[in-house]
Amino acid sequence: MSASADTLRSELAHVVQEVPGVAFLAPGLRSRLRALRGTSPLARQGDDTPGITVSAPRGDTRTTVDIRVICRSGRRTLDTTRAVRESVGHHLATGYPGKEFRIIVTVTGVT
């Protein structure tokens, strides 16, 4: 993963965590496996924001941003999902003008 993708993931993590109704970003598979094994997490590139994936498939002009969140109970997950998508879309439009993004928001749980 490039440094620019890491920077983008970090920026988006802050944007997503500010959205009302978001409890936290969903942990990635590596984080879950480390928790099960009881080992301490090793610093690896790309592990700092496990709930966000940034990819640019070959031949596609758009960059895909996949966001996985855990929502707070007592709030409509649909409203939270829409709010995350709008906040991320606004951030990308203002911070990366001229670039095309495909934003996917998935709710993986409720706390």
CB 50 within 8 A of CB 35: no
Question: Which CATH number do you get for residue 70?
Answer: 3.30.70.1350
Q: What is the pLDDT of residues 48-79, one digit of tens each?
A: 468 999 998 888 899 999 999 999 999 999 99
Q: How far apart are CA 86 and CA 4, in angstroms?
A: 22
Structural tokens at position 80: 């939270």
Domains contained in the chain, number: 1
Q: How far apart are CA 95 and CA 38, in angstroms?
A: 39
What predicted TM-score, i.e. pTM, was given to this entire model? 0.81
Domain hosting residue 87, numbered range: 3-110
Q: What is the pLDDT of residues 8-34, one digit of tens each?
A: 999 999 999 999 999 999 986 555 555
